Amino acid sequence: MLGGFAVTGDEDGLPKGTRSLLLLGPAEPGFWDHLQSQPEWDGAPDPVDRWSRRVIGRLACDLGAKALFPFGGPPYHPFYAWALRTGLVWESPVRLLVHARQGLMVSFRGALALKEAVPLPPPAPRPCDTCPAPCLTACPPRALTGAGYDLPACHAYLDQPQGQDCMTGGCLVRRACPVSAAYARLPEQSAYHMRQFHR
């Protein structure tokens, strides 16, 4: 679990009667090796999404909860806004989400909407408050800055030979985050996600 928050009344976008929302995502080390051994890793499209539906869907059934996913829309569930309510995730200087333990490598695979109030992790200090923000200058084409995200500039850079470092090791901005650097995400996993992003 990457975080959660209490829900005190019915809210748009959440199933009626939700009292807790838990956000779920990969835990490293180990997730990438585990995922590649699963039946969804069969060469068909969207293995990560299919794995998420199966595993989180089963967990929801076991708990009497409702599974919600950041994919499969439109409409899309507001995972960004939900994450900001956990006290463990914040907007970074480059506007990507930053997690207390995973840094800019945070990835949400789904959420569980529970009808019960459950104990939640306590808030953590925002890591960016004591960080020199190397993320602000890590992007060579300046596609990710404090002003936002220039998606065409990012894709154009990834098409160039100098963009291969991002393609094989993951986004330089995400890797520049000191919290991300301490998180055990494999370069192979980042490379896979870069290929999915830059098709």
pLDDT tens-digit series, residues 41-97: 999 999 999 999 999 999 999 999 999 999 999 999 999 999 999 999 999 999 999
Residue 184 confidence (pLDDT): 83
Give the residue-averaged pLDDT of 19-23.
Answer: 99
Residue 172 confidence (pLDDT): 97
Count of structural domains within the chain: 1
Spatial CB neighbours of 62, under 8 Å, sequence gap ≥ 6: none
Residue 179 confidence (pLDDT): 98
Give the residue-averaged pLDDT of 10-32.
Answer: 95
Question: Cα(138)–Cα(122) distance, rounded to whole angstroms?
Answer: 31
Spatial CB neighbours of 104, under 8 Å, sequence gap ≥ 6: 92, 94, 96, 97, 98, 135, 171, 173, 174, 177, 179, 180
Residue 161 confidence (pLDDT): 98
pLDDT tens-digit series, residues 110-139: 999 999 999 999 999 999 999 999 999 999
Residue 65 confidence (pLDDT): 98
Task: Tell me the pLDDT band of 143, cut-offs 50, 70 and 90.
Answer: very high
Range of the domain at 112: 3-197
Question: Cα(105)–Cα(116) distance, rounded to whole angstroms?
Answer: 30
pLDDT tens-digit series, residues 173-185: 999 999 999 998 8
Residue 17 confidence (pLDDT): 96
